[in-house]
Amino acid sequence: MAKLPRKERIVYETKYSSPRERHKGIAQVLYTLYDKGYFTAEADSVGGDSLHLVAYINRGNKFKNTQIRPGNLDEGMMPNAVFRDKLLYNEPFSPQRVSELFKKIITQYENNGYPFASAKADSVHISGNQLSMSILVDKGPAVTMDSIVIRGNANVKRAFLHGYLGIRPGSVYSEKQIKSITNKLRELPFITVERPHQIMFSEPEKAKVIIYAKKVNASRANGIIGFMPGSANGKLLVTGEVDLGLWNALGYGEQVTLKWRRIQAGTQSLNAYVKYPYLFGTPLAVNGSFDFYRRDSTFQNITFGFGVQYLFIGTNYVELFYRRQIAQVIDADKFSNSAQLPESIDFTANNIGIKFNFESYDYRWNPTSGYLINGSVWGGAKNMKKRSDIPETLYDGLRLQSYQIGGELKVDYFIRLHKRVTLKPGLTMAHSENPYRFLNELYRVGGISNLRGFDEDAFFISSYAFGHVELRYLIEKNSNVYLFVNGGWAERNIVTSYFRDNPYGFGAGINFFTKAGFINFAYALGSSQGQPIQFRNGKIHLGFTGVF
């Protein structure tokens, strides 16, 4: 607490957790005096015992005009080009501006290896209310990073933390990086921060980071069962899905996912994805993917590719990717006597694109606030292939080689309305463009992931824009009940047909947590093409997510 024992002095006494914090506290008192116009203020003596320290600060005089020279300020530490030759020259004295200048100088040094740097006025000349001075910097010892110490059972390798935090042994100390450590760690889904990190100066020129974190189960094993009443044969059709995801199993932040799904008889898909982050200690990640989709006896698609991501904090990234598609019609004999091309056709395509993902939640498994923005844009060349079992005359008028472009966007936002009530509005949209589009290259939409109230992959469409609103009531930390409505606009524009609709759906559900994992149960009704809502066509979705 500051005192005024006599006219020109201030005594500042408080409690600090470390000498480094005490040093900053004294500097803050000086900054306060600078703002008030006492620009020659300095800590002229320090005293006390092993438990207490008293700093005597001389306020000095107040001035109206000033000239400031760089003094011994290092060239690379000047805040900006304005101050290269002279800082302030015969300008009205602005305590705030000069104080900000000193703060920026100290910040420059703190972010470039000098955490104990200080700056003060030197060679001060006073003439009336005129003030001229030079900047005198005491850099203190140059400090480099020593190591990262993990306290707790967090399963994460130091090599991953070096890349993720940007702090490596031997790297220059940066106060900016140090201050961001806790926030960065809180963005990782596979650990939880138990308390703020600490910095230990093991040697005068070495700094060690101590992290307090424990493991969080982020890997998953999902199983989903869907029931679709009212099918053509009048029987109940059971669909299924298995989703296995390993995240940080080895401690390097790596991801491996394998997903199999059967949405109806004869139709199934298989998706695999592998990602390895912070390649060679850089903020780069590499990934590879493989996707297989078979639509009964109509067609099958194989898509594979790879990408390079630039990683930001948490799970945020920007990616450059390559993707190759191979599409094949399975049973084309039935079109041998047809007068027009089938809805699906054989083709190959090569695309490159940019993908991005930015997300932040207060709690990943059951957020009450936060957001998700995920999307991509891509383009490339498509090459259609003629089949011998389809009359060649049907290909007349088609250019076998053509361009294709497209883009996708998903936005979710969580708004906390009350301690236990959260509103989740969102938007999902996509568009693809090609002069010769066919059914087996369209987006597959419908089901619990993007349009509830409909069968999985109920719509094959070239463009869509769906909005959704979900109102959640939190039962406890990992459980909630919810009401939802979703719907929007969909279009299918292909060579053989055109379709446009405004489907919508609504319903209710519950997410709850058990020792084995998360269970999701939802009931939804939907309508498309102007058809009335019918309860016998309701969709029941039952999902399970096991975490380990």
CA 200 – CA 180 distance, rounded (Å): 16
> How far apart (Å, rounded) are the C-alpha atoms in residues 363 and 67?
52
pLDDT at 184: 87
**For residue 12, what pLDDT is reported?**
58
Delimit the CATH 2.40.160.50 region(s) of the chain: 220-547
Q: What is the pTM of this model?
A: 0.76
Residue range(s) in the chain whose domain bears CATH number 3.10.20.310: 144-215
Q: Are 306 and 359 in contact (CB under 8 A)?
A: no
3-state secondary structure (DSSP) of residue 135: strand
* pLDDT at residue 208 in the model: 93
pLDDT value at residue 85: 45
Tokens of 413: 């936002």
Contact partners, residue 401, CB within 8 Å, separation at least 6: 381, 382, 383, 384
Looking at the domain that runs over 220-547, which CATH code has it been given?
2.40.160.50
Q: Which helix (H) or strand (E) holds 354?
A: strand 347-361
**Low-confidence residues in the chain, pLDDT < 50:** 1-8, 81-82, 84-85, 230
CB atoms within 10 A of CB 476: 10
Query: Which pLDDT score is estimated for 92?
Result: 57
Nearest 5°: the CA angle 217, 222, 224 is 150
Tens digits of residue pLDDT in 358-406:
998 888 888 999 999 999 999 999 999 988 888 888 888 889 999 999 9
Cα atoms found within 13 Å of the Cα of residue 215, Cβ hemisphere only? 16
124: left (phi over 0), alpha (psi -120 to 50) or beta: beta
Buried b (16+ CB within 10 A) or exposed e, 255-287: bbbebebbbbeebbbebbebbbbbeeeeebbeb
Q: Which residue has the tokens 């883009």?
A: 407
Q: What is the pLDDT of residue 81?
A: 47
Indicate the fold that domain 144-215 takes in CATH.
Ubiquitin-like (UB roll) (3.10.20)
Cα(43)–Cα(297) distance, rounded to whole angstroms?
Answer: 84
